[in-house]
Amino acid sequence: MKELKLTKQQFQEIVDAYDMYVEGIESFLNIETGDVVMLRTFDRDEEDEELSEAIEEGFNEIYFRLPKRESDEGYTDMVDFAETVEDKKLQSTLMHILSGGKKIFRRFKDALSSDREQLERYYQFVEEQNRKRVSDWLESIEVKLILE
């Protein structure tokens, strides 16, 4: 298992890249430097082509494609968070929203926005879940994370 020493800021960059989806851009982690590199899949310039070659040469040895956060993970996070809400009225509202309908994510956040403290707690909850998922992913590619 390879050790990867990262600052908290570097680890946060990986978590942010995991949580970000931009069509036409793929993110890769260089496990030797801890850097996240982004590669355009359309309209590449010379720099993109050079990066693409470097990634290809070191794919799954140095460069690993960062997984993308799945929408079902977002839904699971909302359910798990709603179960922690102590205000029974708010919890009931959130559970009702999660039972179906359109724009669940938007309606869920709108319901939380009435309580700024709960909304902040939700964002922190999701951030922690994303950190766990990134840590699990690193473990799955045989990389031991060491935060400095």
Tokens of 33: 């430097």
CA count, 13 A, side-chain hemisphere, 40: 9
Return the pLDDT at 18.
95
Q: Is the sign of the CA dihedral 140, 2, 16, 58 positive or negative?
A: negative
Question: Rounded distance, CA 66 to CA 32, Å?
Answer: 15
Q: Which amino acid is at 107?
A: R
Please report, in tens digits, the pLDDT of each residue of the chain (148 residues total): 999 999 999 999 999 999 988 889 999 999 999 999 999 888 888 888 999 999 999 999 999 999 998 879 999 999 999 999 999 999 999 999 999 889 999 999 999 998 999 999 999 999 999 999 999 999 999 999 999 8
Report yes or no on whether pTM surpasses 0.85.
yes
Question: Rounded distance, CA 121 to CA 17, Å?
Answer: 21
Return the pLDDT at 12.
96
Whole-angstrom distance between the N-terminal and C-terminal Cα of the chain? 18
Return the pLDDT at 70.
87
